[in-house]
Structure 1
Amino acid sequence: MGNDIQGIGLGLARRFAGSKLAEKSGLRRPAERLAYLSTRTGFRLAGSLIKPKQKAPSDPGERLPNSREKSLFDLSLTEEQMMIRDTVQSFAADVMRDLAHQADEQHTTPDDFTRQIQDLGLSLFAVPENLGGAAQAYAPTTSALIAEDLAWGDFSLALSALAPVAVANAIVRWGSRQQQEFWLPRWLGEAPVKAAIAVQESSPLFRSHHLGTRAKATRKGFIISGTKTLVPLNGEASLYLIAASLNDKPKLFLVAGDSKGLHFESRPAMGLKACGTGTLTLDQVEVDSAALLGGEHTDFDYQSFIDLGQLHWSAMAIGTCQAALDYLIPYCNERKAFGEPISHRQSVAFILADMATEIDAMRLMVWRAAARAEQGMSFHREAMLAHLLCSEKAMKIGTDAVQLLGGHGFTKEHPAERWYRDLRILSCITSGLHL
């Protein structure tokens, strides 16, 4: 009953914040803030009020049920998804936008931002209820919505926030019960968890199924050697999920950040500067047999793991592209040339119209692939098509954003140059995330 009353109250607050009455009375922003803070508190309480169920150990580990039945493709968002979006959108607007420029300039994620992400409680929704979290079902569509809204605030900071959640998602989706019970409680504590997935390698024309990083089985476990690139979090991760070839098959290994033989070297890239990318070298790193994700007998599907990662990147690209469009429309309506707003010129108006069309197409394709994954259906084809479209159109939208701002677009006076640099990563990286 208490949960029902809380849900009704939050729903009323959200509806009032979007009403004309709130706009006229000047209460829209306070109402949005109230809904944001209330929902954020609800995220935190959801995990603390649920007691884990005691189950006999078994392998594989806990598997969340699919959140949608095998029915027609449904584009409508649930009440819970709308509440989550309201909260994340408010956080992106109130917190991330103000931090983005400085974080990009300093090549680091602010400590305050890491704590605020922890307080937001997103990690609770990566962990199943019976392990102390708040996740009731496998819901990559909801994860895609969160990724999009965070990236609207800033692409690079969104990666810093989502990298640890992505590791938790992978452990929940593919891990053994032993691995879940050992690692996932870290995501439920008060201290922020730093974790990252490392798949990408620096070899030319890198393909995710042909890994240069190798794992060799030993009596005690495995020895892993290789090099990963574009790894986020500036070497501060306490846990890495490493992709390596074992008996010529790609596998994932849970490797503690303080393992002997593990070295991180900062290598700032063209974009993603705020999340502190670099090179991770594994020099004969020894791990025990429990490090293999899912164990020897598992339902792990490496291709699905890669596909979910590509969808995650695509969702983030959509959020940044939407941010660019939201920024450009008022700019083009206010910027005057030859006595009238530049948006009155068809060449400008058509570019903006194309942006809106392409963003909607990108979003629908990502949602379709994520929905099929939710339903337990094959989604490889849909994921690849969505990623292909997002890679091409995100780069075009980033370029057009710089172009429409003219000479200003090339300067740091406007965020378009940062969006352009970040969006370029979409066609350069394979996985590293997981819905």
Structure 2
Amino acid sequence: MSLLNSLKGGGRHGVPSGESRDPIGYLVAGLNKVAQSELLDRLGLRRQTEQAVFTTTSNGFKVMAAAGRQFAKAGKKGRPGVRVPGAGSSGQFDLTPTEDEQMLVDVVDDFATELLRPAAAAADDSCGAPPELLSASLEIGLPILGVPEALGGIAETRSAVAGTLVAEALARGDMGLAVSVLAPGAVATAIGLWGTDEQQKTYLPAFTEPSDGGVPAASLALGERAVLFDVLRPSTTAVREGSGGYVLNGTKSLVARGAEAELFVVGASLEGRPVLFIVESRTPGLTIEGDPAMGVRAGGMTTLTLTDVRLRPDALLGHGSPQSTDGSTYTECVRFSRLAWCALAVGTAQAVLDYVTPYVKERQAFGEPIAHRQAVAFMVADMAIELQAMRLVTYKAASLVARGQDAAREIALARRLCADKGMKIGLDGVQLLGGHGFVKEHPVERWYRDLRAVGIMEGAVLV
């Protein structure tokens, strides 16, 4: 019996009344709502033309807030925000998920298998995720996985390991849809990690206590279209005004769900140092146009153009702290984003391996399964070895981040390994399927395109 059919009901965000608010409580109880809805049937029967189609344009269009949401100022100005403590350490090198983390993985894996994967092909074609699927992801509390419990979230300690496991599980369903689902949580996590008290209390309630309009679509915008682009040296500029505010100019590319986003966290260069700004979609000077790419198409990628966008002084993420202007907050954000992309690569590569292994055992050539051929068997074995290396390096980096330790080296190693070996696993998967690997009848060609994004994409997701 599916785990989805055995879950119990709950209250807000799926949390049973009177029970503690923990990740498992949110996710398990929330999935009950998904299981009891008609979502599975609708996604299975709904034709591509009935789904929300992301319309790409050549001229672009104004960014509008989907629900006309107002982010009312709250909190104490100049006061540091709430920070979750690092996780404890036993001192032993053990990357085995805890019992709670494994339960979380099992729940999200069911969500990915029963909802994401069946909708993936149509979402890839239409360059956008079905609204029903996005709503289902909100029911299980994914956007607030990294938000401190004191602010209405579910993070009692740094949630890098849990976030990594969730991203991997979602990507086993589909990387593009995983990006769509995780994009709002990236912004909420960024504000929870580095925001001031005022910023946290102004924006996080929209994620933790959503109105009838639901959790706002939001996006972490770091990437740019530039030859030899260096994410740590953004060409988007921020200039101080006499009133103490800022004026932003530049273009951000591959911004997930930008057409519907109500909130952005945008990277820019301020006086030669990279910083992050909170930008509301209703701010004058923002335009956006469709930017569908080769892969991760279900992420609804867009190009965000900022033309003389004027922001208040408190729009700088972490305003008032030295880290907000010396580049350290921005650098940490880039690293945590890259770690999330590594997790997505691990999940997608696992999907490739899981798909081709039974295929080569069943596919007949010259009167026997092609798995009996030594070249084929060795290729599958190499895929499994490389995948396990990707997973271990990624988990190690996540465990260091969760404990609040320096993980710069481990994240850099994970990104290089996941970009190179993830791409090779995708390529080998296509090769093992032969002609079938080149057609859309099989999902491996989509996973191959998605895996190419790991060494290119910056931002969009965060753990």
TM-score under structure 2 length normalisation: 0.83
Is this contact kept in 2: 1:47–1:129, CA < 8 A?
Answer: no
SS across alignment from 1:412: coil
State the 1:134 CA deviation. 1.8
Deviations 1:241-276 (A, max 9, x none): 000011111000000012110000102111111111
Distance in 2 between residues matched to 1:122 and 1:298, nearest whole Å? 31
Distance in 1 between residues matched to 2:10 and 2:394, nearest whole Å? 26
- Please tell me whether residue 320 in structure 1 is matched to residue 348 in structure 2: yes
1:177-326 matches, cutoff 5 A: 177-188=197-208, 189=210, 191-218=214-241, 219-300=243-324, 301=328, 302-326=330-354
Q: Match for 2:231: what amino acid? A: S
Deviations 1:293-350 (A, max 9, x none): 0003154522221111111001001000000111111111111111111111111111
Relative distance call for 1:235 and 1:176 in structure 2 (3 A) is: same
Aligned to 2:8: 38
Is this contact kept in 2: 1:147–1:316, CA < 8 A?
Answer: yes
Distance in 1 between residues matched to 2:152 and 2:126, nearest whole Å? 36
State the 1:68 CA deviation. 2.5
Distance in 2 between residues matched to 1:47 and 1:182, nearest whole Å? 26
Relative distance call for 1:312 and 1:47 in structure 2 (3 A) is: farther
1:41-190 matches, cutoff 5 A: 44-45=14-15, 59-69=79-89, 71-188=91-208, 189=210
Aligned to 1:408: 436
Is this contact kept in 1: 2:87–2:404, CA < 8 A?
Answer: no
SS across alignment from 1:126: coil
Distance in 2 between residues matched to 1:431 and 1:122, nearest whole Å? 17
Relative distance call for 1:358 and 1:69 in structure 2 (3 A) is: same
Q: Match for 1:209: what amino acid? A: L
Distance in 2 between residues matched to 1:47 and 1:432, nearest whole Å? 33
The sequence identity of aligned pairs, in percent, is 42
Q: Match for 1:86: what amino acid? A: D
Distance in 2 between residues matched to 1:270 and 1:41, nearest whole Å? 40
State the 1:433 CA deviation. 2.4
State the 1:84 CA deviation. 0.8
Q: Going by fraction, where is helix more abundant, 1 or 2?
A: 1
SS across alignment from 1:235: coil
State the 1:361 CA deviation. 0.5
Aligned-residue CA RMSD (Å) = 2.0
SS across alignment from 1:135: coil
State the 1:58 CA deviation. 6.5
Is this contact kept in 2: 1:50–1:129, CA < 8 A?
Answer: no
Moved over 3 A (4+): 37-43, 46-51, 55-58
Is this contact kept in 2: 1:156–1:274, CA < 8 A?
Answer: yes
Unpaired stretches in structure 2, ≥5 consecutive residues: 22-74
Distance in 1 between residues matched to 2:259 and 2:407, nearest whole Å? 33
TM-score under structure 1 length normalisation: 0.88
1:326-337 matches, cutoff 5 A: 326-337=354-365
- Segment drifting more, 214-223 vs 81-90: 214-223
